[in-house]
Structure 1
Amino acid sequence: MDIRSSAAAVQGYTNARSAARPEPTGASPESGFARMAREFTDTLKAGEETTKQAMVGKADPHALVQALAQTELAVETAVTVRNKVVEAYQEILRMPV
């Protein structure tokens, strides 16, 4: 295992640990949705950067696979949240007035 794959593993662990830690209410001026959107964008950018590095031979395959898995998970989560929002909106529309 070289230094790049070790760094990728540490980054993945850090991301997972921060996602599992509850954030105190009112601790951040950023709203929950804005924070999630920023983290989603950061995950996509990190995946793209790792992919670019792998194309020129600067990233090992393990780091590339891990970055792609994190990106896939982020996209699947975003799609699931979007689907839930659409379902809730449709339920509101079906309510009798």
Structure 2
Amino acid sequence: MTVSYSEALAAYNRVAQQARPADSQSSGESEATGGQDFAKVLRESAGDAIGTLRTAETQSLAAAAGKADINDVVMAMSQAEMTLQTVVTLRDRAVQAYQDILRMPI
């Protein structure tokens, strides 16, 4: 699967917009179990993915300015590509699971 730079940037911007908390609601942790809710886990994972993509973006901009080591740039871009592919795969599987649920007989 080949992902163009503009598609990756658009995906990055969409995830960044969705990861921002709308307001400071409750933390979502269950007081009885002390565990995290699913939405919080997704927010943290999206934040990690955004951090990886931002690092790659910073490295590529530094390389364009001639201020970065090429090995660091290649590693950052490789990690960003792997992160983006993972996010896309998870999205595809979630959509497939939702479609499977809709097809279940009642």
Question: TM-score, normalized by length of structure 1?
Answer: 0.68
Aligned-partner SS, 1:31: helix
Q: Which has the higher contact order (CA 8 A, sep 6+)?
A: 1
Q: Match for 1:72: what amino acid? A: E
Which residue of the other structure, out of 49, 55, 61, is the alignment partner of 1:46?
55
Partner AA of 2:98 in structure 1: Y
Corresponding residue pairs, total: 71
Q: CA deviation at 1:96?
A: 0.7
DSSP 3-state at the match of 2:68? coil
How does the TM-score come out when normalised to structure 2? 0.63
Query: What residue is the counterpart of 2:40 in the other structure?
Result: 31
Q: Percent identity?
A: 38
| Residue ranges of structure 2 left out of the alignment (5+ in a row) | 1-33
Question: Match for residue 86 of structure 1?
Answer: 95
Distance 1:89 1:26 in 2: 25
For residue 60 of structure 2, give the secondary structure of its aligned residue in structure 1: helix
Whole-angstrom distance in 1 between the partners of 2:89 and 2:103: 21
Letter in 2 for 1:56: A
* 4+ residue runs over 4 A deviation: none
Q: CA deviation at 1:26?
A: 3.5
SS of 1:84's partner is helix
Counterpart of 1:40, as a letter, is A
Aligned-partner SS, 2:97: helix
User: Which has the larger share of helix?
Assistant: 1
CA distance in 2, matches of 1:32, 1:52: 30
What is the match of residue 8 of structure 1?
none
